[in-house]
Structure 1
Amino acid sequence: MGDLEIRPAAAEDVPAIVAMLADDPLGAQRESPDDLAPYLAAHARLAADPNQHLVVAVREGRVVGTLQLTVIPGLSRKGATRSVIEGVRVHADERGSGLGTLFIEWAVEESRRQDCQLVQLTSDATRTDAHRFYERLGFVASHVGFKLQL
Structure 2
Amino acid sequence: MSEPVFRRATAADLPAIVALLADDVLGAAREQPGHPAYDAAFAAIGADANQLLAVAEEEARIVGCLQISFVPGLSRLGMWRGQIESVRVAASHRGAGLGRRMFDWAIEQCRARGCGLVQLTTDKARPDARRFYEALGFVASHEGMKLKL
Q: TM-score range by the shorter chain?
A: over 0.9
Q: Give the Cα–Cα distance (whole angstroms) in 1 for the partners of residues 33 and 78 of structure 2.
A: 39
Q: Give the Cα–Cα distance (whole angstroms) in 1 for the partners of residues 72 and 34 of structure 2.
A: 35
Q: Give the Cα–Cα distance (whole angstroms) in 2 for the partners of residues 121 and 2 of structure 1.
A: 28
Match of 2:95 in 1: 96
1:6-85 matched pairs, under 5 angstroms: 6-35=6-35, 37-85=36-84
After superposition, the C-alpha distances for 1:83-117 in whole angstroms (9 at most, x for unaligned) are 10000000000001111001111111111100001
After superposition, the C-alpha distances for 1:25-58 in whole angstroms (9 at most, x for unaligned) are 10011100142x1111111111111110000000
Q: Give the Cα–Cα distance (whole angstroms) in 1 for the partners of residues 113 and 42 of structure 2.
A: 21
Match of 1:126 in 2: 125
Q: Give the Cα–Cα distance (whole angstroms) in 2 for the partners of residues 103 and 3 of structure 1.
A: 11
* Offset at residue 24 of structure 1 (A): 0.7
Q: Give the Cα–Cα distance (whole angstroms) in 2 for the partners of residues 79 and 62 of structure 1.
A: 39
Q: Give the Cα–Cα distance (whole angstroms) in 2 for the partners of residues 75 and 34 of structure 1.
A: 39
Q: How many residues align?
A: 149
Structure 1 runs not aligned, ≥5 long? none
Local SS of the residue matching 1:6: strand
Q: Give the Cα–Cα distance (whole angstroms) in 2 for the partners of residues 83 and 3 of structure 1.
A: 25
TM-score by length of 2: 0.97
TM-score by length of 1: 0.96
Deviation >3 Å, runs of 4+: none
- Contact 2:2-2:58 within 8 A present in 1 as well: no
* Offset at residue 78 of structure 1 (A): 1.0
Q: Give the Cα–Cα distance (whole angstroms) in 2 for the partners of residues 49 and 34 of structure 1.
A: 23
Match of 1:87 in 2: 86
Local SS of the residue matching 1:84: strand
In structure 2, what residue type is equivalent to 1:22? A
* Offset at residue 2 of structure 1 (A): 5.5
Structure 2 runs not aligned, ≥5 long? none
Matched, 1:147 2:140: no
